[in-house]
Amino acid sequence: MCLIYVFGALAITSGVFSQDTTTLLPETRDLFVAVGSSVKIPCSDGEEKGVEWRFNSSVLVSSSVLFIQNSSLKDQGIYTCHQPNGDLIQTVSLHLGYPPSTPDVHCWSPSYPKRAICSWTLTPDPILPTHYIATYRSFSDPLSSARQCQKWGEQDRQCALEQLEIFASEMTLINITAVNALGSTTRIWPIIFEQIVKPDPPVNVSVMVMPGRKLSVQWGPPPTWPDPVNFQLKYTVKFHWGKPETARTLGFYESNKMVLSGLVAGRTYYIQISAKDSLDDGQSSDWSEPISATVPFN
């Protein structure tokens, strides 16, 4: 168990006066502590009898030193130390959380060859405000200037890597550093661009009933795939009826349409499409949302 004894930086002297003798209230000081730690906070005028500590305005203890053992999140809040007459001596805002753990990094490229995206998680969540520094560079050139991984979307744990070299035989190193008031940690994650290609699911999936117990299926490439002409996709079709265990997959298809035949009249089919880079790099996309159609009896 860690015991933190706080003094000096948090010892705020009272009796600070302006020329008109008006007393200035001491500033609130922030104290960051790891969950489970024990902490001692002395009052500035610690030798004076009758000094008391209050927690969120409620009297907590009559003592010159505040001792919190095995702190938990419920101990977060505003602590104030008061003279016997009630005058404020100092204010401490206690923040509890965790030092950042090593980030768990995941990278993929839904917009090959334009960009890749990396996201990361920390377990447990630090709770405290945490700042992230994300850079990347070539593996073979450790002295090269690292590029900034640009923030992507609204999340602060996701960034975009631009202008990656395609068909490169060497790795790119992603450096994610997490920093908060309790510490810092770094993860260096190697990637090869082509190995992390993963398109987004196809869009605009439609089904049309055809004579002879057939269904015509069409779809469009994901809008995040920037150049489907020069960097083509291939597609897999999955369909099932009733329970998902009846699912069958067909493909690959290089066009954006196909026909399901030999179907059972009166049966409702659920159809989904997945996309993959035509050179078989990386992974297939997630499946599109299912769309259904019923084969008529006539």
Phi then psi dihedrals of residue 49, to 5 deg: -75, 150
The residues spanned by each domain of the chain are 3-97, 104-196, 203-294
Asked whether this chain's domains 104-196 and 203-294 adopt the same fold, the reply is yes
* Tens-place pLDDT, residues 97-138: 999 999 999 999 999 999 999 999 999 999 999 999 999 998
3-state secondary structure of 99: coil
Q: What is the per-residue pLDDT for 143?
A: 66
Pairwise pLDDT comparison (109 vs 12), residue with the higher score: 109
Facing residues of 75 across strands? Answer: none
Tell me: domain 104-196, CATH 2.60.40.10, correct?
Answer: yes
User: Is residue 175's pLDDT more than 60?
Assistant: yes
User: Do you find a cis peptide bond into 99, omega within 30 degrees of 0?
Assistant: no
Spatial distance between the Cα atoms of 205 and 209, rounded to a whole number of angstroms: 14
User: Do you find a cis peptide bond into 113, omega within 30 degrees of 0?
Assistant: yes
- Residue 18 binned pLDDT confidence (cut-offs 50, 70, 90): very low
Out of 5-14, 42-51, 148-157, 258-267, give the one with best mean pLDDT: 258-267
Of 102, 17, 34, whose CA–CA distance to 68 is shortest?
Answer: 34
- Residue 23 binned pLDDT confidence (cut-offs 50, 70, 90): low
CATH fold, domain 3-97, is: Immunoglobulin-like (2.60.40)
> Across residues 146-164, what is the average pLDDT?
91
Q: In what order do the strands lie in the sheet with 257-260?
A: 203-210, 214-220, 257-260
DSSP 246: G
- Residue 4 binned pLDDT confidence (cut-offs 50, 70, 90): low
pTM of the predicted protein model? 0.82
Q: What is the per-residue pLDDT for 168?
A: 84
Is residue 285 within 8 Å of residue 198, measured between CB atoms?
Answer: yes
Comparing 29-43, 96-110, 141-155, 223-237, the range with the smallest average pLDDT is: 141-155
- Residue 78 binned pLDDT confidence (cut-offs 50, 70, 90): very high
Q: What is the per-residue pLDDT for 60?
A: 92
Q: What is the per-residue pLDDT for 15?
A: 30
Q: In what order do the strands lie in the sheet with 158-162?
A: 104-111, 115-121, 158-162, 150-151
* Tens-place pLDDT, residues 247-263: 999 999 999 999 999 99
Q: What is the per-residue pLDDT for 26?
A: 78
Over its C-alpha atoms, the chain yields an Rg (Å, rounded) of 31
Q: What is the per-residue pLDDT for 6?
A: 53
Matching CATH number, 203-294, of 3.40.630.10, 2.60.40.10, 3.30.420.40, 3.30.365.10: 2.60.40.10
* Tens-place pLDDT, residues 180-209: 999 999 999 999 999 999 999 999 999 999
